[in-house]
Structure formats: structure tokens, C-alpha cells
Amino acid sequence: MNGASMSTSVKQTDGDYARGHEIFQSFVRGDAEAGLMSDVFASEKEMMDALWTSAARNHAPAWTLIADAHVARVQPVGAFYGVDADPSRAWPEAVRHVVDADNPDLECALRAWYQASLLGDREATMHFAKISRHSSVENQRIAKSALESLTDPTPAELYRLGLVHNWLGDMEASAKVHIAAAERGDADAQFELYIYFLQGVGVEADAVKAKVWLERAAAANHPRALFNMGARYASGEEGEPDKQKAAEWYERAAKHGSARAAATLGVMILTREIDGTREQCIAWLDQADEGGYASWQALDYAGVDDPREENRGEEEEDAESEDEEEEGDAES
């Protein structure tokens, strides 16, 4: 039986893990906030006791869920805000060197992911590496070693290793690994190489190679690459500035998740750089805000007013008119 099928089998038969997972999902759904749990603290303890019991049997998924429960203190998972670090828990000797003196919750999450990684969970290795960016240099070095130990690494794993090299300040090693990931089709690595060759990070600056990697990332619909292609046409890097061509790239970027591109399209309509209705402009600005990009910054930079403010003013005037009519009806 290979590792993947063994893990699936354990998931199906480990009752402690199943119970812990069930309670975890109820927290994520918001059962605690909705008052559907009679005793939140008791449920939290039952969940963690079940997961630790399962983890003691070297069940990697239990370790990853323990990590999720602790990292939720730093970044909520749904409606779940995590559990506090419990000093009474006995960590395996193999992970006790993973330390974060500034953040005990992060330390617990990193230790749990690292233990799952040692048990062969490659996704846990990726999580450990990703979160190590917010921890110490020592933990980033552990992440580097864990990623380097993976056999036949995937393009995504190589890309993550390239990032860790970057965080550790080894730009040449970072560029080398990113090239390996990019050549195997990783769009994130391809976009990273666009920046590296453009700015001479870990490689000699080369605008031609930078553009090649940008175009390859854009062909894979990488949102930031698509946005930068639009910026090249807008600024004239592809010849005469072509706002319409830029807008086409921005639309593709927005379609694939670039909130900044959505804000840019809204501003371009307001500044009459491209055709568009007021409703279309507002829709783009709303999409930017919903995607996490503060559209007011783009509006402020362009020196234009937010068209949604006009809507709010009209709504307030309508509400005042209705109030006056109601008062008049009452007086008559």
C-alpha cells in the first residue's frame, strides 16, 4: 500500500480523527457563534483531545488539523478563530527544535505541520515552508531542508523552495530553482523570473528574457502577469501607448482574480481612456474592493471622484424626500 492510500485508509478508520475533524468543521461553519454548541470550551477540548490521540498513532492528517487549529489564531479559518497553545501537550522530540519565541500559536502550527511532514505529508511540508516566512530564519532553514529532501519535487514544490532561498537571501539559488520550476510549467515561478531578469535578482538583468517569462506566465493566465502585460501596453513599452489593448489585458487579469486590474478598468472608464458606462465602472470598482484591493487608492491616485458616492447622495436625498412626504401626509 502506498502512502496516499494508507493515509486515506487511516482517515476512514481513525475514529478519533473523525470526531476531531467533525468538531473542527462545526467551528468553521460558525456553530459556536450561532449558539449551537452548549459548551464551546468543552467542545474545543474534546476536539483537541481527539486529534492528539489520533496524532499519537502517527496519523499525519491529525497533525495537519492540529496545525490548522492553531494557525487559525493568526488567520481565522471560516468562523473559527483557533485554539490557544497548550503547554501541557507533549510534542515529539523530533519537532521540539522548531521554536517561535514571539508567537506560541505559530510555533504550535509549525511543529504540527513539521511532524506531518516527517510522516510523509508533502502538503504539510509546503504549509510549513509557506508559514515559515512569518517566523524565524532558523525555521526557514528547516523549511529549506525539508523541501530539498523531497524526492522528485513537483514544479510547485520547487517554486516554494525558490521562495525560501529568497527569504534567506540566497538569490542565485532562488533564481536557479525558479528556473527549474518555470521550465516545468509553474506560472508563479515564470512570473517571478520576469521580475528577477527585469531587476537583475540572482541573474544578470536581461529585458528580453524578462519579457519571455512574462509572456509565458501570461499565457498560463497568471493574474499578475496579465496585469503587467496590460501595464506594458498602457505605458508604451510595447510601442505607442495603446489603452484599448491594455484594457483587454486588464480584463483578462480581472477575470482571473486580479483585483488591481478591476480597479484600473474602473478608473480608465472614469478618465475616458476607454469606453464604458457608469454602471460598468462601478461594477469594476466593486469587484476590486471585493477582491481585497482598496479601489479608493486607485481613484485617489488618478484624482477622480468615486461615482458610488453620487449614488449614496442620491439615495440620501430620496430618503429625505420620502420622509418629508410622510410628514406632510401626517399633517394633512
Residues 85 and 157 reside in one and the same domain: no
Residues 84 and 156 reside in one and the same domain: no
Residue 315 domain-assigned? no
Give pLDDT, residue 310.
Answer: 77
Last residue of a domain, which of 218, 246, 269?
A: 218
Give pLDDT, residue 277.
Answer: 96
Residues 26 and 131 reside in one and the same domain: yes
Walk along the chain (332 residues) and give the pLDDT tens digit of each residue.
Answer: 334 434 444 444 589 999 999 999 999 999 999 999 999 999 999 999 999 999 999 999 999 999 999 999 999 999 999 999 999 999 999 999 999 999 999 999 999 999 999 999 999 999 999 999 999 999 999 999 999 999 999 999 999 999 999 999 999 999 999 999 999 999 999 999 999 999 999 999 999 999 999 999 999 999 999 999 999 999 999 999 999 999 999 999 999 999 999 999 999 999 999 999 999 999 999 999 999 999 999 999 999 999 999 766 555 555 455 555 555 565 54
Give pLDDT, residue 317.
Answer: 53
Q: Which of these, 260, 110, 277, lies nearest to 249 by C-alpha position? A: 260
Residues 91 and 165 reside in one and the same domain: no
Helix axis angle, 104-118 to 137-148, nearest 10°: 20
C-alpha 163/C-alpha 160 separation (Å) is: 5
C-alpha 163/C-alpha 187 separation (Å) is: 14
Give pLDDT, residue 331.
Answer: 54
Beta bridge partners of 80: 77
Give pLDDT, residue 5.
Answer: 37
Residue 63 domain-assigned? yes
Structural domain of residue 49, as residue ranges?
14-140
Give the single-character DSSP code of 80: B
Residues 19 and 47 reside in one and the same domain: yes
Would you state the cell numbers that stand for residue 17, as one nine-digit string? Answer: 480523527
Residues 133 and 169 reside in one and the same domain: no
Assess contact for 9 and 61: CB atoms under 8 A.
Answer: no
Q: Which of these, 168, 169, 165, lies nearest to 180 by C-alpha position? A: 165
C-alpha 64/C-alpha 156 separation (Å) is: 19
Residues 59 and 94 reside in one and the same domain: yes
**Residue 77 dihedral angles phi and psi, to the nearest 5°:** -105, 105
3-state secondary structure of 77: strand
Assess contact for 288 and 263: CB atoms under 8 A.
Answer: yes
Provide the 10 A C-beta neighbour count for residue 325: 10
Residues 37 and 110 reside in one and the same domain: yes
Residues 57 and 101 reside in one and the same domain: yes
CATH of the domain at 179: 1.25.40
Residue 43 domain-assigned? yes
Last residue of a domain, which of 218, 236, 266?
A: 218
Residues 70 and 111 reside in one and the same domain: yes
Distances from the Cα of 33 to the Cαs of 28, 44, 80, 327, in angstroms? 10, 13, 9, 41
Residue 183 domain-assigned? yes
Assess contact for 44 and 83: CB atoms under 8 A.
Answer: yes
Residue 25 domain-assigned? yes
pTM here? 0.86
Residues 128 and 183 reside in one and the same domain: no
Q: How many domains does the chain have?
A: 2
Beta bridge partners of 77: 80
